[in-house]
């Protein structure tokens, strides 16, 4: 079984290596990366990583309408027949298995399920009180999150079956695809929209969503970065920060991968 990741990212060069190597560690073998309005060295970071990994890099037109949906659709129509499953996630989202070492072990359980896509729920993490972004890994520096009852945790992102051809289209937002057999969560519950009405389940899968990072990151980038599946001119109000900067609960489950990720960053991938 093969799992690929599709992602559109903007100016996340500082964290790209960790993000790619983390997902490689948990079972992703191919990365289809779309860079939108990047003014940093994201392309160079990915190009270096591509010497040891299967990474395809696409530069997205600055003026493209709904660049995330356009990129997702391009990726599926171009690469949909290269993997059994394709996960569509953002650069501030870390997808991982909650009880095994590999996403492939989890996906094997759904290989013959009556669904076209598997929805994975968020856990939204706050700033950990950081005003400036500290050095080190995101997964190490941001360990405090909102309670599991936080409304936005009911958002899902999609892991979509490959080999569905033109019948598989992203939309109406970046969270879901229109497919033949529809989307279900890990409990088999049908999903009709990216924000569900269910109590999220994390028995098998989870996405740590590091939406905030530091307050400086929010003020200097996130606030004015727009929304890749909505409008490039979106400006997030201060109320967005107060809504998402939730730090009530410490959650270190993802840190079981910390040492291995750090080792991959320092030593590299064996040929």
pLDDT at residue 228, rounded to an integer: 55
159-175 residue pLDDT tens: 999 999 988 999 888 99
State mean pLDDT over 170-191: 95
Type and span of the H or E element at 34: strand 30-36
- Domain of residue 91 covers 3-267
What length is written for the chain? 271
Cβ(28)–Cβ(56) below 8 Å:
no
User: pTM score, two decimals?
Assistant: 0.95
Structural domains in the chain (count): 1
Q: What is the pLDDT of residue 173?
A: 87
Q: Specify whether the CB–CB gap between 234 and 227 falls below 8 A.
A: yes
pLDDT of 226 reads: 64
In this predicted structure, the answer to whether residue 271 has a pLDDT above a threshold of 70 is no
Average pLDDT on 145-164 reads: 97
What confidence category does residue 144 fall into, taking pLDDT thresholds of 50, 70 and 90? very high
Confidence of residue 26 (pLDDT cuts 50, 70, 90): very high
Query: What is the DSSP code (8-state) at residue 11?
Result: S
**pLDDT confidence tier of residue 236, bands split at 50, 70 and 90:** confident
Is the pLDDT at 125 greater than 70? The verdict is: yes
Residue range 52-100, pLDDT digits in tens: 999 999 999 988 888 999 999 999 999 999 999 999 999 999 999 999 9
| Cα–Cα distance, 29 to 3 (Å, whole number) | 6
Q: How far is CA 267 from its chain centroid?
A: 25
Alpha-carbon torsion 154, 240, 210, 74, what sign?
A: positive
Instruction: With a cut of 60, say whether residue 151 has pLDDT above it.
Output: yes
CA distance 72 to 68: 6
- Strand duo 93-97 + 144-145: pairing: unpaired
pLDDT above 60 for 21 = yes
The percentage of the chain sitting over the pLDDT mark of 90, rounded to a whole number, equals: 86
H or E element, residue 244: helix 238-244
CATH label of the domain that carries residue 108: 3.90.550
- Crossing angle (nearest 10°) for helices 258-267 and 13-25: 120
* CB-CB contact of 163 with 126 (8 Å): no
Supply the pLDDT for residue 57. Answer: 98
By the 8 A CB rule, do 232 and 148 touch? Answer: no
pLDDT at residue 232 is higher than 70: no
Statement: residue 138 has pLDDT above 80? yes
Which of 176, 170, 206, 181 is closest to 192 using CA atoms? Answer: 176
> 197-207 pLDDT, tens per residue?
999 999 999 99
| Position 6 confidence tier, pLDDT thresholds 50, 70, 90 | very high
Per-residue pLDDT, 66: 87
Q: What rounded mean pLDDT belongs to the chain?
A: 94
Is the per-residue pLDDT at 254 higher than 80?
A: yes
């Amino acid at each position: 079984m093969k799992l690929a990741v599709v992602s559109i990212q903007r100016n996340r060069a500082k964290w790209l290596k960790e993000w790619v190597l983390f997902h490689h560690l948990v079972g992703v073998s191919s990365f289809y990366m779309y860079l939108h309005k990047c003014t940093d060295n994201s392309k160079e970071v990915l190009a270096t990583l591509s010497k040891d990994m299967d990474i395809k890099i696409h530069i997205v037109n600055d003026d493209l309408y709904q660049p995330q949906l356009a990129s997702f659709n391009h990726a599926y129509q171009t690469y949909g027949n290269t993997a059994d499953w394709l996960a569509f996630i953002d650069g501030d989202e870390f997808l991982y298995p909650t009880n095994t070492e590999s996403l492939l072990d989890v996906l094997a359980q759904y290989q013959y399920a009556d669904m076209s896509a598997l929805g994975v729920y968020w856990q939204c993490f706050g700033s950990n009180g950081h005003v400036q972004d500290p050095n080190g890994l995101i997964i190490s520096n941001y360990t405090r999150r909102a309670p599991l009852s936080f409304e936005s945790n009911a958002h899902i992102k999609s892991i979509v079956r490959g080999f569905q051809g033109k019948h598989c289209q992203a939309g109406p937002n970046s969270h879901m695809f229109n497919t033949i057999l529809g989307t279900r969560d890990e409990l088999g519950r049908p999903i009709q929209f990216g924000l569900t009405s269910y109590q999220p389940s994390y028995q098998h899968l989870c996405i740590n969503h590091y939406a905030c990072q530091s307050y400086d990151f929010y003020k200097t980038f996130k606030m004015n970065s727009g929304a890749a599946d909505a409008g490039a001119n979106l400006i997030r109000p201060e109320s967005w920060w107060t809504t998402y900067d939730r730090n009530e609960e410490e959650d270190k489950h993802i840190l079981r991968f910390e040492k291995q990720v750090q080792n991959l960053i320092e030593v590299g991938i064996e040929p």
